[in-house]
DNA sequence: TTGAAAGCGCTAACAC
DNA sequence: GTGTTAGCGCTTTCAA
């Protein structure tokens, strides 16, 4: 492989001039630029990114670290959307994305530390999880760069893009009530995942009921675990305990699909016996049930903004105020 | 950030000794190792991966390049499975994965070249696509390392992991015939994607029909484009042209779900009016219709083996004979 | 078992 | 507008 020096020699210029032709071409006369360029072509020269990284002290690579094991991550439509958002923004801005989902969840913190401290990446986009608060704390002190997809500790003010589902769930419940439903189930987010301030679904649900003068009932709310199976079981229990159940709000797409299957297995029919509102409205999945009204979870936008924010964090060397995106409610199809 | 030299100075050893403690600890006496280790801890020293990369001439990063635009890639369950397979294998072997899906398809070749020639990655896992054959050709000559997920040119003998759907489709058709079906539709792979030797579905289908003495009919075979919408439209046309249609084989999951929706929209019922065999049997999606028999596409295994192969290619500096994985047929649920 | 010196390929200062 | 020099932080001969 030809090096910068080979080019310089053959073009009869200094190494720095070659470097300039590559990195700041308008600071070189057209003549020398042409000469150097032709030698570059002739030698099939390609700048060595590693050497440049060493000198520049940055790699133009952003790490995307997910703490739930690869089988979960690559099968979760939400994460794919966040990843897609981050990817789209960062690649158009000249960054690469390094994706890391430790096989064992417990390796996550090591992995984050390794990536960042070994200088493999210029910064990381992180998922909240147990222990990440300490990592983030350390990063803050040592000026390593991160942005989190959601809150990592109670009073986090900066470097996060969070999503608030309350407005979406509120509007969904409100809508169902306006259609005459009184027994509305909620398949809620799991409580055993690490998520701060995440009673957002419940809050929206409760507020809507309250405003309509409907009493809140414990046995109309069950948790899923974000999976198909979790949604399936949650619906079964809901129906078991509430024979009058006439509508269900699901807080994520995979759980909605589980619930839909449970509906069918119970011999019921959606849009006739029961109304189901699905969870994420992600393009990857919502087309499977395009007739369902849905809470729109702006995961793609979240990923995109996280990409933008990590760039800004790196550029400025400063912390950036966190951003919260609101979910919306999308009405579709024929409800009762 | 502390450097190797800082550690060496404080531990009163040479830089090389520190390097040894990190990279080949058993070639250092226990005593010095302990001393050095404690200094490493004390200074919170982390080796700089970039500097090591520059010297070692490798980054321990593998590129995963997909040529279909990010909106396609991150929404295709097959690609996610391949990515997951490659990721699982490579991360446990100490490699990182850099994922790259150029926003514009036409940038793909540049992207591959850039990643490899700039030495950002030690090797790449590639998707076949228009023009990749030339890239691969050049890589062969210049000893850059690659493995392809499928064949990239007619007589490719090495450095690929391919999947042959023929046995799966054959078995599926055979099974349907054994159940008494005579009008079996095939929603085939698209022909406008770059895929070599990819009449594998059709071959399996035709062979099964032939063995059963059933005439092949052109209007029982339609292409999808790997998407939900494609499957939907393909089924509609199939049913339109073949009122007697009683079974459909889909060559991918997303197309199967499109077909399933078209079935419902036509007022028909699966397992009563029509049998549907889904395409990929991927964990990400097949649970949505767990009662459907399916052609099992070993995408995860393909990704995993591609990961293994690229490692071997890099390690040996040699080309490796290609591998073809066979799809199987999985019987489930109650068919007619 | 350990150390000295050279250099991987590039870029940032600073000179001209 | 261009060139010279030094050095990013590590590893790799080779010698002790």
State pLDDT tens for residues B135-146: 998 998 888 999
Quickly list DSSP for A22-76.
HH-GGGS-HHHHHHHHHHHHHHT----HHHHHHHHT--SEEEEE-SS-HHHHTT-
- Comparing A118-122, B92-96, B269-273, which segment has the lowest mean pLDDT? B269-273
- Please list every residue in chain B whose beta carbon sits closer than 8 Å to the beta carbon of residue A50: 50, 53-54, 59, 119-120
Backbone dihedral region for residue A137 (phi beyond 0: left; psi -120 to 50: alpha; all else: beta): alpha
Region B36-49 average pLDDT:
93
A284 pLDDT more than 80: no
> Which of A107-116, A245-254, B63-72 is the most confident on average?
A245-254
- pLDDT (average), residues A119-138: 91
Residue B129 sits at the vertex; the CA angle it makes with B127 and B135, to the nearest 5 degrees, is: 85
Q: Is the pLDDT of residue B267 over 80?
A: yes
Q: Is pLDDT at B336 greater than 70 in this prediction?
A: no
Nucleotide nearest to B46 (CA to C1'): D9
The predicted pLDDT at position B194 comes to 83
Closest alpha carbon to B149 in B305, B288, B336: B305
| pLDDT value, residue A336 | 34
When CB atoms are compared, the residue of A51, A73, A290 closest to B54 is A51
Position with higher pLDDT, A265 vs B212: B212
Q: Between the CA of B37 and the C1' of C1, what is the distance in angstroms? A: 17
pLDDT at A6 over 70: yes
Distance A335 CA to D14 C1' (A): 81
Chain B nearest CA to A274, separation (Å): 18
Q: Does domain A61-163+301-325 have CATH number 1.20.1420.20?
A: no
- Spatial contact of B37 and B285, defined as CB atoms under 8 Å apart: no
**Which residues make up the interface with nucleic strand C when CB must lie under 7 A?**
A 1, 3-5, 15-16, 19, 22-23, 45, 47-48, 51-52, 54-56; B 12-17, 20, 27-29, 31-32, 51, 54-55, 57
What pLDDT is recorded for position A188? 96
Helix (H, G, I), strand (E, B) or coil at A283: helix
- Mean pLDDT confidence for B295-307: 97
Percent of chain B with pLDDT over 90: 70
Footprint of strand D on the protein (CB under 7 A): A 12-17, 20, 27-29, 31-33, 51, 54-55, 57; B 1, 3-5, 15-16, 19, 22-23, 45, 47-48, 51-52, 54-56
List phi, psi (to 5°) of B53. -60, -45
Give the distance, in angstroms, between residue A49 CA and nucleotide C15 C1': 28
The chain B residue lying nearest A120, using CA atoms, is: B49
Architecture of domain B166-296: 3-Layer(aba) Sandwich (3.40)
**If pLDDT is split at 50, 70 and 90, which confidence band does B28 have?**
confident
pLDDT at position B106: 80
Å from A215 to nearest chain B CA?
A: 34
State which residue has its Cα closest to the C1' atom of C8. Answer: B55
Residue range A249-265: average pLDDT? Answer: 92
Contact B248, B275 (CB under 8 A): yes
Q: What is the largest CA-CA distance in chain A?
A: 86
CATH number (3.40.1080.10, 2.40.50.100, 1.10.260.40, 3.40.50.280) of A4-47 reads 1.10.260.40
Residue A217 has pLDDT above 60, yes or no: yes
List the single range of A77-91, B52-66, B95-109, B254-268 with lowest mean pLDDT. B95-109
- A&B contacts, CB < 8 Å: 120
Q: Which carries the bigger pLDDT value, residue A78 or residue B305? A: B305
- Which bases of chain D are contacted by protein, using any atom under 7 A from a CB? 1-13
Q: Report how far residue B41's alpha carbon sits from residue B58's, in angstroms, rounded to the nearest whole number.
A: 27
The pLDDT of residue B334 is 55
Whether the pLDDT of residue A334 is over 70: the answer is no
Q: Report whether pLDDT(A335) > 60.
A: no
**Closest CA to D3 C1' — which residue?**
A14
- Look up the protein residue whose alpha carbon has the minimum distance to the C1' of D12: B55
Nearest CA in chain B to A142: B1
Q: Taking residues B59-66, what's their average pLDDT? A: 94
For residue B224, pLDDT over 80 is answered with yes
Give the rounded percent of residues in chain A with a pLDDT score beyond 70: 99
Structure confidence at residue A195 (pLDDT): 81
3-state secondary structure labels for all residues of B185-205: EEEECCCCCCCCCCCHHHHHH
Please indicate whether the domains covering A4-47 and A61-163+301-325 agree at the CATH topology level: no
Is residue A1 over pLDDT 60? yes
* Averaged pLDDT for residues B88-100: 93
Q: pLDDT, tens digit, for every residue of B157-210?
A: 999 999 999 999 999 999 999 999 999 999 999 988 888 878 999 999 999 999
Question: Which positions of strand C lie within 7 Å of protein CB atoms?
Answer: 1-13
Averaged pLDDT for residues A274-303:
90
- Quote the percentage of chain A above a pLDDT of 90: 70
Provide mean pLDDT across the span B224-232. Answer: 91
The Cα B77–Cα B65 span in angstroms is: 16
Domain ranges of chain B: 4-47, 61-163+301-325, 166-296
User: How large is the average pLDDT for residues A72-96?
Assistant: 91
- Among the partner residues A97, A117, A257, nearest to B46 by beta-carbon distance: A117
* End-to-end Cα separation, chain B, in angstroms: 69
């Amino acid at each position: 492989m030809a090096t910068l020096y080979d080019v310089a020699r053959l073009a009869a210029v200094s190494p720095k001039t070659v470097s300039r032709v590559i990195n700041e071409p308008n600071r070189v006369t057209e003549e020398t630029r042409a000469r150097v360029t032709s030698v570059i072509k002739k030698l099939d020269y390609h700048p060595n990114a590693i050497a440049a990284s060493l000198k520049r002290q940055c790699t133009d690579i952003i790490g995307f670290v997910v703490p739930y094991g690869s089988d979960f991550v690559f099968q979760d439509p939400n994460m794919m959307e966040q990843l897609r958002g981050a990817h789209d923004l960062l690649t158009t801005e000249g960054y690469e994305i390094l994706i890391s989902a430790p096989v064992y969840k417990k390796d996550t913190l090591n992995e984050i530390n390794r990536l960042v401290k070994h200088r493999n990446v210029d910064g990381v986009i992180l998922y909240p999880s147990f222990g990440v608060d300490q990592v983030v704390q350390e990063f803050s002190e040592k000026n390593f760069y991160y942005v989190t997809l959601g809150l990592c500790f109670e009073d986090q003010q900066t470097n996060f893009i969070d999503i608030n589902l309350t407005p979406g769930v509120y509007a969904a419940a409100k809508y169902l009530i306006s259609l005459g439903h009184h027994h509305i189930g909620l398949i809620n987010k799991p409580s055993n995942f690490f998520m701060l301030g995440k009673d957002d679904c419940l809050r929206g649900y409760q507020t809507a009921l309250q405003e309509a003068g409907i009493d809140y009932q414990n046995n109309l709310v069950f948790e899923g675990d974000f999976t198909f199976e979790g949604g399936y079981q949650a619906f079964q229990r809901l129906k078991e305990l509430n024979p009058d159940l006439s509508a269900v709000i699901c807080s994520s797409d995979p759980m909605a699909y589980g619930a839909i299957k449970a509906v069918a297995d119970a011999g019921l029919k959606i849009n006739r016996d029961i109304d189901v509102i699905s969870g994420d409205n992600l393009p990857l999945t919502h087309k499977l049930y395009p007739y369902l009204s849905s809470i729109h979870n702006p995961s793609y936008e979240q990923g995109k903004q996280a990409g933008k924010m990590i760039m800004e964090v790196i550029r400025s060397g400063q912390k950036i105020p966190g951003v919260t995106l609101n979910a919306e409610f999308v009405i579709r199809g024929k409800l009762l």
